[in-house]
Chain A
Amino acid sequence: MEKLMLLGDEAFAQGALDAGVSGFYGYPGTPSTEIIEFIQRSKQANADKIHHTWSSNEKTAYEAALGMSYAGKRAVVTMKHVGLNVAADPFMNSAMTGANGGLLVVVADDPSMHSSQNEQDSRFFGKFAMIPILEPSNQQECYDMAFFGFELSEKFGIPVMLRLTTRLSHSRSGVIPRERLPQNEISIPENPVQYVLLPGIARQKYKGLIAAQEGYEKEAENSPFNRYDLEAKDTSKGIIASGLAYNYLREVYGEEPIPYPVIKISQYPLPMAQIHKLYDMCDSLLILEEGMPVIEEMLKGASFKGSKPIHGRLDGTIARDGELNPNKVAKALGLEDKYGMDVPDIVAPRPPALCVGCPHIDSFKTLNEALKDYENARVFGDIGCYTLGFLPPYQSINSCVDMGASITMAKGASDSGIHPSIAVIGDSTFTHSGMTGLMDCIYEKTNIVIIILDNSTTGMTGGQEYTAKGRLEEICIGLGVEKEHIRTFFPHIRNHEEMIQIYKEEIEYEGVSVIIPRRECIQTLKRRTKKGK
Chain B
Amino acid sequence: MKKDIILAGVGGQGILTIATILGHAAISRGWQLKQAEVHGMSQRGGDVQSHLRLSDKEIHSDLITMGDADMILSVEPMEALRYLPYLSKEGWIITNSNPFVNIPNYPDVEDVYAEIRKIKNHKLFDADAIAKEIKANRSMNVVVLGAAIKHLGFSKEEIEDTIKAIFTPRGEAIVEQNITALNTGYELG
Query: Which of B38, B65, B108 touches A251 (beta carbons < 8 Å)?
Result: B65
B33 with A174: CB separation less than 8 A: yes
- Say yes or no for A199: interface residue by CB 8 A criterion: no
Bound complex: CA of A33 vs CA of B78, how far in Å? 30
A374 vs chain B, min Cβ distance (A): 27
CB-CB nearest in chain A for B58? A250
* Interfacial chain A residues near B32, Cβ < 8 Å: 173-174
Most chain B CB within a 10 A radius of its CB, from A3, A171, A385 = A171
Does A353 reach chain B (CB closer than 8 Å)?
yes
With known contacts A346-B107, A350-B47, A353-B46, A167–B62 Cβ distance under 8 A: yes
Residues of B close to A244: CB separation below 8 A: 62
* A158: min CB distance to chain B, Å: 30
**A326-B61, A341-B84, A353-B102 as given contacts; A346 in contact with B42, CB under 8 Å:** no
Stretch at the interface among B66-74, B133-141, B162-170: B66-74
Question: How long is the Cα–Cα vector from A325 to B36 in the complex, in angstroms?
Answer: 13
Q: How far is the CB of B55 from chain A (nearest CB, A)?
A: 11
Answer whether residue A531 sits at the interface, using C-beta atoms and an 8 A cutoff: no
Q: Do B88 and A344 have beta carbons less than 8 Å apart? A: no
Query: B132 interface residue, CB < 8 Å from A?
Result: no
Q: Is the CB of B44 within 8 A of A171?
A: no
Output the residue of B10, B69, B107 with the most chain A CB within 10 A.
Answer: B107
Interface status of A519 (Cβ within 8 A of chain B): no
Interface centre among A327, A350, A461 (most CB of B within 10 A): A350
Is B37's beta carbon under 8 Å from chain A? Answer: yes
CA distance A351 to B87 in the complex (A): 23
Interface set, chain B 33-49, CB cutoff 8 A to A: 33-47
Contacts of B18 in A (CB 8 A): none
Could you give, for residues 157-198 of chain A, a 1 whenever the CB lies within 8 Å of some chain B CB and a 0 otherwise?
000000000011011111000000000000000000000000
Interface string of A89-126 (1 = CB under 8 A from B): 00000000000000000000000001100000000000
Instruction: Check if B103 sits within 8 Å of A350, measured CB to CB.
Output: yes
In Å, the complex CA distance between A31 and B36 comes to 12
| A5-B35 Cα distance, complex, nearest whole Å | 10
Contact with A along B64-107 (1 / 0, CB 8 A): 11111100000000110110111111010000000000110111
Which residues of the partner chain A approach B27 to less than 8 Å between Cβ atoms?
3, 5, 174
Return chain A residues, CB-CB under 8 Å to B108.
Answer: 346
- Cβ of A281 within 8 Å of any chain B Cβ, yes or no, is no
- How many A residues have CB within 8 A of the partner chain? 49
Q: Which residue of A has the minimal Cβ distance to B86? A: A340
Cα separation A497 to B176 with both chains bound (whole Å): 50
Contact partners of A342 in chain B: CB under 8 A: 84-85
The DSSP consensus for interface residues of chain A is loop
**What residues on A are CB-neighbors of B40 within 8 Å?**
30-31, 114-115, 460-461
Given known A341-B84, A353-B46, contact A171–B65 (CB-CB < 8 A): no
The verdict on A47 contacting chain B, using a C-beta distance below 8 Å, is: no
Interface assignment of B112: CB less than 8 Å from any CB of chain A: yes
**Shortest Cβ distance from A118 into chain B, in angstroms?**
14
CB closest chain-A residue, reference B11: A352
B111 to chain A, nearest CB (A): 5
Q: Does B188 contact A (CB under 8 A)?
A: no
Contacts of A348 in B (CB 8 A): 78, 103, 105-107
Q: At the interface, yes or no: B63 with Cβ under 8 Å from chain A? A: yes
The reply to whether the CB of B115 lies closer than 8 angstroms to some CB of chain A is: yes
Asked whether any CB of chain B lies closer than 8 Å to the CB of A330, the reply is: yes
Are A340 and B39 in touch, CB under 8 angstroms? no
Min CB–CB distance A341 → chain B (angstroms): 4
- Interfacial residues, chain B to chain A (CB-CB below 8 A): 10-11, 23, 27, 32-47, 51, 57, 59-69, 78-79, 81-82, 84-89, 91, 102-103, 105-108, 111-112, 115, 119
**4 shortest interchain CB distances as A-B pairs:** A338-B67, A30-B40, A115-B40, A352-B46
Report which A residues bind B (CB closer than 8 A).
3, 5, 7, 30-31, 33-34, 114-115, 167-168, 170-174, 244, 247-248, 250-252, 255, 325-327, 330, 338-344, 346-355, 385, 388, 460-462
Q: A167-B62, A338-B67, A340-B85 are in contact. List 14 more A-B contacts (CB 8 A).
A: A5-B23, A30-B41, A114-B41, A168-B62, A170-B39, A173-B34, A174-B33, A343-B81, A346-B115, A347-B78, A347-B81, A350-B45, A350-B46, A353-B44
